[in-house]
A and B are shown apart, each in its own frame.
Chain A
Amino acid sequence: DIQMTQSPSTLSASVGDRVTITCRASQSISTWLAWYQQKPGKAPKLLIYKASSLESGVPSRFSGSGSGTEFTLTISSLQPDDFATYYCQHYNSYPLTFGGGTKVEIK
């Protein structure tokens, strides 16, 4: 099984900050990676797919990069609506797995 490891698990930041979250796969997954945002009590929301493709309607301050085993999600200028938990997910093969999540908190 492919394990997905996210870091950090918690991140404290201020509005306007540039934020970077890392996701590492235990083996190469090419660019078969998605990122989601989840707010408390809500379903996850797709942000990025195929490592760097922005889902329609998602603000351009979100971007993804990477391939193989190392990936990043970057928020270029953190907005109040961005305080949430972020998950990566690989879809290279079954079983599909998610990272443990990164909670972005207000500093």
Chain B
Amino acid sequence: EVQLVESGGDLVQPGGSPRLSCAASGFTFSNYWMSWVRQAPGKGLEWVANINQDGSAKYYVDSVKGRFTISRDNFKNSQYLQMSSLRAEDTAVYYCARVDGGDSGFYDLWGRGTLVTVSS
């Protein structure tokens, strides 16, 4: 089955550094750009980061630059989001998504999401 499964979300204190993981299956992971998209409770969708097929190109929304790092391991069919210096406004469901249509593309496959709550 073609799917993405996120993990790693949790209740985290401000300033914390959790790592989110996304396991891909059912498709050739190494052929695709991948992305993280987040959604704060009751709010809209926000693109967070993209990574290319071999991990050599990465793009971030300004609000997370210098704090979040996207990475991937094509042997493990997984991508990751290392988060640091977390703030209350980072509280959101974080979705792993597969990019179609090139590097800055659209998302044709989504995971179910993992909730990160930043609170003391």
Docked Cα-Cα span, A95 to B60, in Å, equals 7
CB-based contact A92/B107 at 8 Å:
no
Main secondary structure of the interface of A (DSSP, over half): loop
Q: Which residue numbers of A lie inside 8 Å of B, CB to CB?
A: 32, 34, 36, 38, 42-46, 49-50, 55, 87, 89, 91-101
Q: How large is the interface on B (under 10, 10 to 19, 20 to 34, 35 or more residues)?
A: 20 to 34
Residue of A49, A93, A94 near B106 (CB, 8 A) is A49
Given A95-B47, A98-B44, CB of A49 within 8 Å of CB of B100: yes
Q: Does B32 belong to the interface (CB within 8 Å)?
A: no
Q: Which residue numbers of B lie inside 8 Å of A, CB to CB?
A: 44-47, 50, 59, 61-62, 95, 100-102, 104-108, 110-113
Distance in angstroms from B71 CB to nearest chain A CB is 18
